[in-house]
Structures are given as C-alpha cells and as structure tokens.
Structure 1
Amino acid sequence: MRFMVIVKANQDTEAGVMPSEQMLAAMGKYNEELVKAGVMLAGEGLHPSSKGVRVGFGADGKRTVVDGPFAETKELIAGFWLWQVRSREEAIEWIKRAPFEPGDVIEIRQVFEAEDFGAEFTPELREQEERLREQIAAR
C-alpha cells in the first residue's frame, strides 16, 4: 500500500523560515531510517504558498490563475513523503517517530492503486498507465 504523508504548513513555513541545522540533521536521520526500511519512495519540502499559484477550472472552460500567498495556513502543505507500507497502521507508527515540533500536523492519505478503479479502468487504460510509469522510471 502506498500512502501520501502530508506535512501541513504553519506560520513559519509560510513565512519562508528555514529549518535549523539540528532539525535538518534529525529529519535526515529519520529519512535514512525510512529508506533503509524500504518505506520511503519520495519526499520533499515545498516553498511557501507566496511562491505558488492556484489554477481554477470554470464550467465555461476558462482557467483562472491566482498568485499566492493563500490565506488558510492550516489548509496548506509544507512538504510530503510517498511511502510504501503494509498498512495504514504501519504508516501511523512511522510518522509517530518523526522529529516534528509540538503543534505540527501531519495527514496520511492512501494512494489509489489501479485495482481500486474497477471495470472503468479498462485494459487499454491500464496499459497506458503502465507505459507512463515505465517512462517515468526510465528518467
């Protein structure tokens, strides 16, 4: 099972405050544990929303682009991991070991797999998906 582990933004991350050397070292050690255990597939921190944009898709086919920053800090993302684990419970146990500060919030969401889509995900669509994943892996 794959899970997206979402690190919620806070006032510091939205202000562009960089983590301390101590926090970077602790997170590096934690990430090393995840990699050695075969859990971590990807993980990155994100720039604040002031450097981002939102693109809206209207019913009329028009696209709107709104520059950040965005007001609701609690709804924003500061970083993420993509993990491969056996269960939701295993993901929870891993995140409990993470070196976060009091008040930080982490969200864990399962990633859809091909079999989750049922008959609508036809053999042709599955083949297309597999080709795309192979192309990505080859880069």
Structure 2
Amino acid sequence: MKYMLIMRATDEAYAAMADVDMTEMIDLMGRFNDELIRAGVLLAAEGLDDAATGVVVDHSSEPPVVTDGPYGETKELFGGFYLLNVSSQEEAVEWAKRLPGTGKGFKTEVRRVPTIDEFPQDNEWIQKERAWREATGQL
C-alpha cells in the first residue's frame, strides 16, 4: 500500500529552522532517506520551495483568482512529502515518527494513496489512465 507522509509546519517552526546548519540538515535527511531506501519502501520524496514564491489558485469564483504567497491565513504550510510503499498505516506512522528535523510546530500527516484498481474498471477515464500508466511503466 502507498502512503504519503505530508510534512507541515507553522511559520514559527520554519523561522526556527533558519538557524539550523543546512549541511547538518542535509546529513540528517540523507541518513533517513538512506534508511527508507535500504528498507525498500521509498517511492518518492521532495521538499518544496518557500511558500512566499508560490501562488494559490482559488476556485471559489469564476474565473479563478490567483493570489501570490505567502499565505497569511494558513496556520500550517505543506513543506514536502515522502511517498512510501509499506504494508500498513501503522508502518507508515512508524516511519513518520522517525522523520528528522522535526519538533515543536511540525506535524506529519499520513494519508493512504488509493490504487487505480480501487476505481470502477469499466469507466472510460480509468481505462485511459490505466493504459497511460502501463505505457509509461507506472503500473
């Protein structure tokens, strides 16, 4: 089963990270990533650029409204993710508990990623997606 570990933090937590030595942080994350690789569970992992450089597309109106970051009303920002292939939610949670570089103001959301097999297989769009996944080696 696939699970996504979504790393979130408050503005205060990100501000506290500004004082952390980048080489030390890369070493911590590198060792954790290596553990995930050796365990055979890592499918993907990425961090995100500063929220101030992003935009939000708000679909509440027509046409959608695009707003520059940072996102003033957001209590927590999505900072990156890990995509793991593990046997259970409990195993995903155990990996999430071990994430380095976390502390006060940091949270990790653990969400299962449904497979294409869980959707109606007689649906035209599911069939097209399945064909695309097969053609690109993703299935």
Give me the TM-score of the superposition, normalised by structure 1.
0.81
Describe the SS at the equivalent of 2:70. coil
Of Structure 1 and Structure 2, the greater helix share is in 1
- Per-residue displacement from partner, 1:26-81 (whole Å, max 9, x unpaired)? 11011011012111110011112110011122454x12111101024533101111
Equivalence for 2:126? 126
Structure 1, unmatched stretches of 5+, are none
Shift of 1:131: 2.6
1:9-28 paired onto structure 2 within 5 Å: 9-11=9-11, 13=14, 17=18, 20-28=22-30
Structure 2 distance, partners of 1:85, 1:70, is 33
Shift of 1:10: 3.0
Structure 2 distance, partners of 1:2, 1:14, is 31
Shift of 1:108: 0.6
Structure 2, unmatched stretches of 5+, are none
Give 2:39's match in structure 1, choosing from 28, 32, 37.
37
- Per-residue displacement from partner, 1:86-131 (whole Å, max 9, x unpaired)? 10000011122222332121111111222333x3x53533321123
1:37-76 paired onto structure 2 within 5 Å: 37-58=39-60, 60=62, 62-76=63-77
Residue range with higher mean Cα deviation, 70-79 or 106-115:
70-79
Relative to structure 1, the CA distance from residue 65 to residue 135 in structure 2 (aligned partners, 3 Å threshold; closer, same or farther) is: farther
Alignment pair present for 1:101 and 2:95: no
Residue pair 1:13, 1:48 contacting (<8 A) in 2 also: no
Residue pair 1:40, 1:84 contacting (<8 A) in 2 also: yes
Give me the TM-score of the superposition, normalised by structure 2.
0.81
Structure 2 distance, partners of 1:135, 1:15, is 45
Relative to structure 1, the CA distance from residue 8 to residue 131 in structure 2 (aligned partners, 3 Å threshold; closer, same or farther) is: same
The percentage of counterpart residues that share the same residue type is 39
> What residue identity is the alignment partner of 2:41?
V
Residue pair 1:56, 1:64 contacting (<8 A) in 2 also: yes
Residue pair 2:2, 2:112 contacting (<8 A) in 1 also: yes
The root-mean-square deviation of aligned C-alpha atoms, in Å, is 2.5
